[in-house]
Amino acid sequence: MKTRITELLGIKYPILQGGMAWVAESTLAAAVSNAGGAGIIAGGAAPIDYLRDQIRRAKSLTDKPFGVNVMLMSPNAEDLAQLVIDEKVAFVTTGAGNPGKYMEGWKAAGIKVIPVVPSVALAKRMERSGADAVIAEGTESGGHIGENTTMCLVPQVVDAVEIPVLAAGGIADGRGIAASFMLGAEGVQVGTRFLASEECQIHKNYKDLVIGAKDTDSIVTGRFTGHPCRNVKSKLAKKLQTFEKDGGTPEEFEKISAGSLRKAVVDGDLEEGSFMCGAIAGMINDIKPCKDIIEEMFAQAEKLLKIN
């Protein structure tokens, strides 16, 4: 499946691994890249020294291209924007904001830039700023989300820009890839399916929640804070939902949620952890190596799209 995305990044399969904060580290990223996709290390809000180490570790684990996700709401964004230049990272994805002010520096350093966009307006702005591609991310995704669905957003972004578009949100098998291609996407970004991979380093409780989830087990919390977030319907998520219904303040909400993603990923804390995951978790029932996940997804997609 050669597309402008495989050409742009020099990869075999047009699939990016989502830049999931706390989750997307060097072992996972290298496994995805070694399997022919594009792995990503998430900057999240991690210290720069740790991220430098992660980038160097990934370089030692793969000779294939990998990227870094810059979460623009993070206090480390400015420093990470410089680190990816210093470390000559192949490409950057961005989330949770407009990366406009970093674009010139990244382009001058030869770094490919692929912002995540939740709207047509932002996709157009990113194209004007020099983005190489955009990821149109639907509200089915895990973590911090926009409001539009993958099915509605992707074709509208495809119609609005000339640069290639990747689809994200609700894609976990070959049917999702084939559907994305029918909507005009030239690649996909997949997060939740890789949570249930052998190489993903998250706590076993997190993986168990993902593979045990059914279709109705993800909920969105925090809409009233302006930062809606899709999670497994865990104890904390239900508590936050009640808190929101009962008229709690956004400030208190942020206080209760603080550190909850780390508690999920590192400690597997079923009481206080925030287990971010996409709405497609209900379809994911097993843990496999990244290579098998990617090869099976593309074998199914190619059959459906009648490629070869």
Which residues would be at the binding site for ligand TUI (CB under 6 A)?
A: 21, 71, 73, 95-98, 116-118, 122, 137, 143-146, 227, 229, 276
Q: 286 is written with which tokens?
A: 């097993």
**Alpha-helical runs (H) found in the chain:** 4-9, 26-34, 48-61, 77-86, 100-108, 120-129, 150-160, 174-182, 192-195, 204-212, 235-245, 250-257, 260-262, 290-304
In the complex, minimum distance from the CB of residue 153 to ligand TUI, in angstroms, rounded to a whole number: 11
- DSSP conformation class of 45: T
Backbone phi and psi for residue 115, each to the nearest 5 degrees, phi listed first? -75, 145
In the complex, minimum distance from the CB of residue 122 to ligand TUI, in angstroms, rounded to a whole number: 5
In the complex, minimum distance from the CB of residue 225 to ligand TUI, in angstroms, rounded to a whole number: 8
Maximum CA extent, the chain = 56
Cβ closest to ligand TUI, residue 134 vs residue 293: 134
In the complex, minimum distance from the CB of residue 231 to ligand TUI, in angstroms, rounded to a whole number: 10
Cβ closest to ligand TUI, residue 37 vs residue 191: 191
In the complex, minimum distance from the CB of residue 300 to ligand TUI, in angstroms, rounded to a whole number: 26
Q: Please identify the residue of the shown chain whose CB is closest to the bound ligand TUI.
A: 143
The C-alpha atoms of residue 74 and residue 95 are separated, in whole angstroms, by: 10
Q: 266 is written with which tokens?
A: 């590192």
Cβ closest to ligand TUI, residue 1 vs residue 24: 24
Cβ closest to ligand TUI, residue 10 vs residue 130: 130
Cα–Cα distance list, 113 to 71, 160, 241 (Å):
13, 18, 35
DSSP output for 60-82: HH-SS-EEEEEETTSTTHHHHHH
In the complex, minimum distance from the CB of residue 276 to ligand TUI, in angstroms, rounded to a whole number: 6
The C-alpha atoms of residue 229 and residue 133 are separated, in whole angstroms, by: 24
In 3D space, the residue among 197, 205, 274 whose CA is nearest the CA of residue 234 turns out to be 274
In the complex, minimum distance from the CB of residue 223 to ligand TUI, in angstroms, rounded to a whole number: 12
Backbone phi and psi for residue 103, each to the nearest 5 degrees, phi listed first? -60, -45
Beta bridge partners of 42: 69
The C-alpha atoms of residue 65 and residue 40 are separated, in whole angstroms, by: 9
Cβ closest to ligand TUI, residue 37 vs residue 146: 146
Cβ closest to ligand TUI, residue 172 vs residue 178: 172
Cβ closest to ligand TUI, residue 189 vs residue 197: 189
In the complex, minimum distance from the CB of residue 253 to ligand TUI, in angstroms, rounded to a whole number: 11
Cβ closest to ligand TUI, residue 97 vs residue 155: 97
| Strand pairing category for 112-117 and 134-137 | parallel
